[in-house]
């Protein structure tokens, strides 16, 4: 991993770079400036407004990134949503244009997947919101392929802006081919600016792209930058949906990039929020340029607002700005809010749609799911594991507090499923050492006396629980994992593929060991309610089981 340039400390980390014969010094968090005997102007200025990983959050969201409740909305406790995003972008863009500053509005992918708007409209509602707000370009995220490339072609057919994803290889005779560009050249402020886009090659196993394939990002970009430069384009922006770590590798390996606007990893870059990477984070290119990297978290909670100045060779000589929290101080745009409300109508009807038939009740009671193995805990963790099993994930870990209702025998509606799993938590995969898994189980059972929601529900492993033992003194023992048809003791030093939910993966319910020791973390953005509904339907008529996963 290349080391980002850090302007904060010491000459060895406060890097002096040479750019087109000028001396450039990093001057503070997220900014730098060029000094030169010939640098008597500020250079070409370009402002960029950007988002990434909106994940179908057309309605305003709560503090946990779920759809906000009416009560919280009335109290001003909501964030984001398409209507609030529209106000933020429109107002900022108008102010910049009034100041004579050219501006681009860009999206680094994953508009798709996350709420019933995507389930209902298969991405077209999200694209319609982007049309209303006025985006200049977008790259593809892996979740854009969740319904397959045929559906994606239909989704992008309504876009009034270009889609740039040059490492995406679409068969020439496929309908998607006409909607995805290799590159884009825009004239803005009298200057030609190139826009490139890349999508993570991991899409082949994270989504459903076949027969579409994906080229290596660095190999593609090396060639694409050369082709743009041959056309006389030196200012080159990359819309990247590969994650913050990979963006840093790209910046260090590909010469000629001016800026990377990232997505996929849901990383908040900020100069005001503690314990976040700088906005912008600088990485040195092979020729010594500083390449700014920016990203704006996810779910429409933040808008990235960046101001760039370029030298004649296309190098960025100044990058300032920050991510802006879209809280209730931003009024919702009336036209967008009205359209979102209209689109929500059929969703209310869909909630009443039957999902499946179950042969017996599924107990999801609080008193059971927060104290012992329970039917709903087994059902939900089995569903989680089935969803990601093709990825080599073998263990599922959930929290009893996330289960909010039981299901009666007979017809189950989507509304019933949403009552069981109302929080819009998403499926999250990671790699964990066996010792961390045992520590997670021990932590989870230590609140039984208080009915704590952190009580672990599991699939793919089993353990013994002795509540008579004092907390943190070894209540959990005999932890075993399934290997084929056999159960074997967990290896503290082995690494296991685990699926959990985004809340727990971030350390929620005190599961800090997941955040601290987990690697290769990935938020699938697939709602747990959707996972459960699909699992019940595929196993109709479903009957729950208690099979001794938690022995007491």
- CA distances to 172, 293, 301, 336, 344 from 76, in Å: 49, 32, 14, 19, 21
Q: What are the tokens at 33? A: 């400036």
What pLDDT is recorded for position 423? 79
| CB burial string 42-63: b at 16+ within 10 A, e below | ebbbbbbbbbbbbbbbbbbbbe
Query: Starting from the edge strand earliest in sequence, which strands make up the sheet with 486-489, in order?
Result: 486-489, 476-483, 461-465, 550-551
Secondary structure letter of residue 56 according to DSSP = T
Quote the CA–CA distance of 140 and 118 in Å, as a whole number.
Answer: 15
- Domain residue spans in the chain? 16-345, 352-551
pTM of the model: 0.78
What pLDDT is recorded for position 490? 98
Count of residues in the chain: 552
> At 235, which helix (H) or strand (E)?
strand 235-241
What pLDDT is recorded for position 6? 37
Residues lower than pLDDT 50 in the chain: 1-41
The tens digit of pLDDT for each residue in 341-365 reads: 999 999 888 888 899 999 999 999 8
Residue indicated by tokens 């609080």: 366
DSSP E strands in 115-228: the ranges are 137-138, 168-169, 183-188, 191-199, 213-214
Helix, strand or coil for residue 464?
A: strand
CATH of domain 352-551: 3.90.780.10
What pLDDT is recorded for position 447? 87
Give the residue among 536, 201, 267 at the shortest CA–CA distance from 386.
Answer: 536
Strands 461-465 and 519-527 come out as unpaired
The tens digit of pLDDT for each residue in 283-309 reads: 999 999 999 999 999 999 999 999 999
CATH class given for the domain over 16-345: alpha beta
């Amino acid at each position: 991993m290349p080391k980002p340039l850090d302007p904060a400390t010491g000459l060895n980390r406060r890097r002096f770079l040479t750019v087109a014969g000028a001396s450039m010094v990093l001057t503070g968090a997220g900014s730098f400036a060029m000094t030169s005997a010939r640098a008597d102007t500020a250079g070409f200025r370009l402002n960029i407004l950007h988002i990434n990983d909106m994940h179908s959050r057309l309605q305003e969201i709560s503090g946990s990134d779920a759809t906000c409740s009416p009560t919280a909305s009335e109290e001003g406790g909501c964030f984001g949503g398409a209507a609030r995003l529209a106000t933020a972008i429109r107002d900022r863009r108008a102010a910049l244009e009034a100041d004579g500053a050219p501006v681009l509005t860009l999206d680094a992918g994953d508009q798709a997947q996350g709420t019933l708007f995507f389930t209902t409209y298969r991405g077209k509602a999200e694209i319609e919101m982007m049309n209303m707000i006025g985006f200049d370009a977008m790259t593809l995220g892996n979740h854009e392929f969740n319904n397959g490339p045929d559906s994606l072609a239909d989704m992008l057919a309504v876009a009034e802006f270009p889609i740039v994803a040059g490492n995406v290889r679409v068969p020439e005779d496929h309908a998607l081919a006409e909607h995805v560009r290799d590159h884009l050249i825009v004239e803005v402020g009298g200057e030609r600016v190139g826009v490139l886009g890349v999508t993570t090659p991991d899409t082949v196993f994270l989504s459903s792209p076949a027969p579409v394939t994906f080229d290596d990002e660095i190999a593609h970009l090396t060639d694409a930058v050369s082709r743009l430069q041959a056309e006389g384009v030196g200012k080159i922006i990359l819309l990247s949906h590969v994650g913050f770590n990979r963006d840093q590798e790209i910046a260090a390996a590909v010469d000629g990039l001016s800026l990377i606007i990232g997505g996929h990893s849901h990383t908040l870059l900020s100069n005001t929020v503690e314990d976040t990477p700088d906005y912008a984070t600088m990485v040195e290119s092979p020729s010594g340029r500083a390449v700014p990297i920016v990203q704006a978290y996810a779910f429409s909670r933040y808008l990235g607002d960046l101001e760039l100045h370029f030298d004649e060779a296309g190098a960025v000589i100044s990058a300032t700005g920050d991510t802006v929290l879209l809280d209730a101080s931003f009024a919702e745009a009336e036209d967008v809010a009205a359209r979102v409300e209209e689109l929500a109508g059929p969703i209310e009807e869909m909630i009443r749609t039957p999902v499946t038939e179950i042969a017996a009740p599924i107990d999801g009671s609080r008193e059971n799911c927060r104290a012992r193995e329970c039917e709903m805990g087994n059902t939900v963790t089995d569903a989680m594991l089935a969803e990601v099993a093709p990825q080599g994930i073998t263990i599922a870990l959930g929290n009893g507090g996330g289960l909010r209702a039981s299901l009666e025998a007979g017809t189950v509606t989507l509304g019933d499923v949403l009552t069981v799993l109302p929080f819009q938590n998403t499926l999250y995969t990671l790699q964990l050492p066996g010792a961390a898994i045992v520590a997670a189980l021990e932590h989870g059972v230590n609140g039984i006396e208080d009915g704590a929601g952190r009580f672990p529900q599991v699939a793919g492993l089993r353990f013994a629980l002795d509540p008579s033992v004092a907390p943190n003194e070894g209540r959990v023992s005999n932890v075993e994992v399934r290997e084929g048809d056999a159960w074997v003791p967990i290896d503290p030093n082995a690494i296991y593929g685990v699926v959990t939910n985004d809340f727990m993966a971030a350390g929620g319910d005190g599961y800090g060991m997941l955040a601290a020791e987990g690697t290769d973390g990935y938020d699938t953005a697939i709602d747990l309610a959707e996972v459960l509904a699909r699992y019940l339907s595929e196993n109709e008529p479903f009957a729950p089981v208690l099979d001794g996963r938690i022995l007491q």
